[in-house]
């Protein structure tokens, strides 16, 4: 009897997994360069922890690349019209930057934010495509990514309807038919203007943040160059003067390191968040 009461107490414990609220947590970690030359890309380890019954288990680890995130973005965007959709970080096509340590880390953080915004959305987290992204092996993911989407996946009847709509619009333009005046909602128009103005203000703030980061980096580099030059000059001078030059050079290099760290801090905590806000507002505009 005592054992039964004990086991019953365990099953009713607030720490029991069955009593936990539903959760879906995703982490994007461990970026790694794969391949060489134009075929090179960055892969990421995507770790999913959940107690949702739709998933295969409490934890799943898969390997994904940027194009997989693009696939998920496009699939969900196509199926969930009118929902504010989290923005995807842009793709850097400049070879010398896209494999830099700083860019890779910035993209990793942005992808982590992107996927968790989907996972935390009460409707988007039910997406079958999200489950595929978080659980499928690499071969299955590659097959899903290679499937035709958009207009090429539509049925012939859907394509015919598209052509009819286009033909009707062209005929209206040629015949000079006037479009019926659409009634607008004042509150909607007010909100729309606010979104457009907000995008302009955020974009302007992001430009200033970019200039600030750039100025810190340039000043840091100048101090580093100055410090090295002064230390070399000190090597050719006498004892007292040479020592003074060496100390000045060392101080300049220390300041250079501090400025470079400050520039990186501004980049990650000021410029990048502003860029994310701009992308978010642009996503809102698309869903309006």
Condensed to tens digits (0 to 9), the pLDDT of residues 99-157 reads 888 889 989 999 999 999 999 998 888 899 999 999 999 888 888 888 755 444 555 55
pLDDT (tens digit per residue) in 50-84:
999 989 889 999 999 999 999 999 999 888 887 87
- 10 φψ region: left (φ > 0), alpha (ψ -120 to 50), beta (else): alpha
Tell me the whole-structure pTM to 2 decimals: 0.68
What average pLDDT score do residues 29-48 get? 91
pLDDT of residue 234: 85
The CB density around residue 217, as the number of other CB atoms within 10 Å, is 17
Domain boundaries, the chain: 18-147, 154-182, 186-287
Which ranges in 43-127 belong to alpha helices (H)?
A: 66-79, 95-98, 101-120
Q: Which helix (H) or strand (E) covers residue 63, if one does?
A: strand 59-65
Q: What is the pLDDT of residue 85?
A: 72
Q: 213 pLDDT band (50/70/90 cuts)?
A: very high
Mean residue pLDDT across the chain: 82
CATH superfamily name and code, 186-287: Arfaptin homology (AH) domain/BAR domain (1.20.1270.60)
Which residues have C-beta within 8 Å of that of residue 22, sequence separation ≥ 6?
Answer: 51, 52
Query: What average pLDDT does this structure show over 182-200?
Result: 84
Q: Provide DSSP, 132-191.
A: HHHH--HHHHHHHHHS--GGGGS-HHHHHHHHHHHHHHHHHHHHTPPPPPPP--HHHHHH
Report residue 200's pLDDT band, with 50, 70 and 90 as the boundaries.
Answer: very high
Torsion of CA 75, 79, 82, 87, to 10 degrees: -10
For the chain, what percent of residues have pLDDT higher than 90? 41
Q: What SS3 state is found at 16? A: coil
> 227 to each of 74, 246, 247, 276, how far by Cα in Å?
50, 8, 9, 36
pLDDT of residue 240: 85
CB-facing half-sphere around the CA of 75: CA atoms within 13 A: 21
Tokens of 259: 């400025």
pLDDT tens profile 169-185: 666 656 665 555 556 78
- Report the pLDDT value the prediction gives residue 10, as an integer from 0 to 100: 42
Domains 18-147 and 186-287 are alike in CATH topology: no
Q: What is the pLDDT of residue 239?
A: 82
CA-CA distance, 281 to 115, in Å (whole number)? Answer: 17
Fold entry, domain 18-147: PX Domain (3.30.1520)
């Amino acid at each position: 009897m005592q054992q039964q009461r004990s086991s019953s107490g365990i099953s009713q414990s607030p720490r029991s997994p069955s009593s936990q609220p539903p959760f879906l947590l995703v982490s994007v970690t461990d970026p790694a360069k794969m391949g060489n030359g134009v075929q090179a890309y960055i892969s990421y380890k995507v770790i999913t922890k959940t107690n949702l019954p739709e998933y295969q288990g409490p934890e799943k680890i898969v390997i994904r690349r940027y194009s997989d995130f693009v696939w998920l973005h496009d699939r969900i965007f196509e199926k969930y019209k009118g929902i504010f959709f989290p923005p995807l970080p842009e793709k850097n096509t400049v070879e010398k930057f896209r494999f830099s340590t700083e860019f890779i880390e910035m993209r990793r953080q942005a992808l982590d934010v992107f996927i968790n915004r989907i996972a935390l959305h009460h409707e988007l987290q039910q997406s079958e495509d999200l489950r595929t992204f978080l659980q499928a092996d690499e071969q299955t993911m590659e097959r899903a990514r290679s499937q035709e989407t958009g207009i090429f996946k539509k049925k012939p009847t859907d394509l015919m309807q598209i052509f009819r709509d286009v033909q009707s619009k062209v005929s209206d333009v040629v015949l000079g038919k006037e479009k019926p005046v659409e009634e607008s909602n004042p509150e909607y128009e007010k909100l729309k203007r606010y979104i457009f103005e907000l995008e302009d203000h955020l974009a302007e703030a992001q430009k200033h943040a970019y200039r600030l980061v750039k100025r810190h980096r340039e000043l840091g580099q100048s101090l580093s160059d100055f410090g090295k030059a002064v230390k070399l000059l000190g090597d050719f001078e006498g004892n007292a003067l040479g020592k003074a030059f060496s100390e000045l050079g060392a101080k300049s290099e220390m300041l250079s390191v501090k400025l470079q760290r400050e520039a990186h801090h501004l980049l990650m905590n000021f410029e990048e968040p502003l860029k994310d806000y701009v992308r978010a507002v642009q996503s809102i505009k698309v869903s309006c």
